[in-house]
A and B are shown apart, each in its own frame.
Chain A
Amino acid sequence: MVGLIKVTGVSMAPLLNDGDYILTFKPRTPRAGRFYVIAHDRHGQIIKRLSAINGQMASFDSINPEGSSGEITASQIKARAWLAITPKGIKRL
């Protein structure tokens, strides 16, 4: 299923900035290096880059070095961010 989500925050800058939109779809097999919308226990719905996945466990990080990182279960990965719609145009993630 395709979705449209607005990005808030700066932890994915400069790739994704506050106010950008992302087009998402339900992922088949999450892969490290791609960008995903995650249902985080503490922070709610967040967008992060998957840094590693091993079975049911996965870790994520940010583009901005001061952004957060952490670990999640694979079931918390909700959607893959595919396209970014920014004021400067559209780019594939």
Chain B
Amino acid sequence: MRERASTLTTVESEVRHQIVELETVTVRFAGDSGDGIQLTGTLFTNTTALVGNDLGTFPDYPAEIRAPAGTLPGVSAYQICFSSQDIRTPGDQPDVLVAFNPAALKVHLPDLPEGGMILVNVDAFTEYNLKKAGYTSNPLEDGSLAKYRVYKIPMTTATLSALREIDLPAKDKERCKNFWALGLVYWLFDRPLEPTLRWIEERFKKNPAIAQANATALRAGYAYGDAAEMFTVHYRVRRAQIAPGVYRKITGNEALALGLIAASQLAGRPLFYASYPITPASDILHELAVHKNFGVRTFQAEDEIAAMCAAIGAAFAGYLGATGTSGPGMCLKSEAINLAVMTELPVVICDIQRAGPSTGMPTKTEQGDLLQALFGRNSESPVAVVAPATPADCFYMAIEAFRIATKYMTPVILLSDGYLANGAEPWKLPSIEELPKIEIRFRTDPNGFYPYLRDPETLARPWAIPGTPGLEHRIGGLEKQHITGNVSYDPKNHELMVKLRAEKIARIAEDIPLLEVFGEPEGKVLVVGWGSTYGAITSAVEHWQRKGAPVSSIHLRYLNPFPRNLGEILPRFEKILVPELNLGQLALLLRGRFLVDAIPFSKVQGRPFKISEIIDRIGELL
């Protein structure tokens, strides 16, 4: 949030560089997808978390594993915003761009504000690389970067020189240049090297030469900053004033995996997670596969359909069945999700949305699957839908998804997205005691047992698992007779069952938190968001509130059913703005459900909203 970035004080450093204190800084690392950009950004994030800043990150990488080196499509980037204040996004614009080659500079320069700092690897600015990036002249020499603060740094040669004593092929040494650059950025922002040195030692335990080379490069980059005369100052961002507690850094996918495990622990039933690899959901499968000592069974299925069906089988057998995928996989799973609707079995389906339609842009974020989650199946097919608002919220919503699924005997779709999945933030760890309990009650009594005899309060049918004597019964995708569960084609029965399934989902509204309005309970503009746009929307609304403007916001983490006070809140505002990373799907729902003039604010560029974009749009409505 640049608007709050300000120079607070300037103090003499004990060495010869002055230290300038900043409140908020955004750094973007950019280079070839083979340069180790994501790793560099992640390590910088880990250290930044440990020094106690608030932070948000935005990894942005190509779908190709190794696109041709030096080309524009091959550029991978990682942005981190860190602050001594409470922040909610990875920052609108970078203050500092670390560009490892001309292509990275070309792709990311348009995002840099005037006066922004550029650290470039001057060694990579060869005629060949410039040509590949589409430069006709060298931007470092032709004056086109005059409005920026450019630092031309020989990262490759400095790395090779630092590693001259180490016995490794030159090619391997050159690959250490990301650690060298990381060391320099650590110096620039006055961060300790120890967390990264510890990581290097652990990661390259079996390859001491590589470990030594990376550690040496890291130290050399740091020392370069300290010794170079080109830097007159370096910067410090103080520990953030955030709530006391134990923290860790967490991405959305990590939080989701931990949340699924937590749900299993809270329910006292093992987790069965079936998935087919797909970007950006695969990391959930990877993470869960590690935690077998929690009784987690992971199943890498032969396809998306099998993953969903196996999760249904697991649920039938009494496990917490879950699957994870992204949009294209949701299309394939939809028939089987409907089977879970009809058989009324608790399965959690995690959709890590990405830009579509079809294969779309696999590594880019979007919120395009909302209507698919609600309606993308044949006939009347109500399912519960939840959407975490931040990376750490994925943990809580995974638990919530299973709480709802098992209490109401229904599939629940959890809508995350690429931005939440890969983005990181500090997470104040909850105490286990404050997590909700998930009560599982298997039916065991054969007396009066009917597979579709419903709980009068929740309308859930009994969960009777194979192996229970006396409860042998058959379920399936054919319409069921009310109570007995026998196959029925009776017209009135069908209508009754359609309505019962809808009513069951509607009743969940009684069991989820009411919406809290951020700001005044009535006013001129209400901004309504859902899912991953929480950070940008809240920051933008806060901006206007500080100026005294009558702007409030609400954020939906429950999309089906909606929280029961939504309909009361909407009419209290003159204008309703709905920012979404789609063409207005929530806006359509609000209009249809509540007859309000919801104004869609769409962005479909595979990128999250900038705070400034929402600030400007709200401004137009005031």
Chain B associates with chain A: no
Contacts from A to B (Cβ < 8 Å)? none
